[in-house]
Amino acid sequence: MRELSRIITDPQSAVFPEARQFLRSRNQTSSKKQPAAQTQPAAKSPARPEAPAEEELTRYFVSSLDPGKAGPAAMAQKIQTHWSCESRHWQRDALWREDACLLCNSNAACALALIRTGLQTLVRLAGRTSLPVVFEDVAHDLSLGLGWLKSPHL
């Protein structure tokens, strides 16, 4: 479930300068859990999978966009695009430590970002989903990464 509520405000009366809209985004998600392994099945009742775990997340936003030009659907799309971008950047910083990179040359920084993106794509094409696990595997066996480069299906 996704729900977006908004309040239209006057920039002159809002606490935030230039604020035109206050938004609340509520998302409810459920994740399927794997059933727990049973050592001995129950005599009369079959094993039942666990119910999906539900989680509700509420986020608040302030926007300077004109409510007439950026309605609820447009704002929902902008919020989703923003968090998709934030998620990618968080992954890149958490795994590649991009924010700690002290390169002063913008061309070198762009080249390094392209190399990281290429490596991340290569890992996904190799069918691997968890980068932390890949980092550990390659740290123990460097030929693993070279094998992916030589793979004929890439």
- What is the gyration radius of the CA atoms in the chain, in angstroms? 23
Sketch the domain layout of the chain as residue ranges: 1-29+54-100, 101-154
> pLDDT per residue over 11-64, tens digit each?
888 888 899 999 999 988 877 655 444 445 555 555 555 666 788 889 999 999
- Model-level pTM? 0.54
CB-based contacts of 7, cutoff 8 Å, min separation 6: 21, 22, 23
Measure Cα distances from 103 to 7, 100, 110, 112 in Å: 43, 9, 10, 9
> pLDDT per residue over 55-97, tens digit each?
888 999 999 999 999 988 999 999 888 888 888 788 788 888 8
Alpha carbons 127 and 19: distance in angstroms, whole number: 45
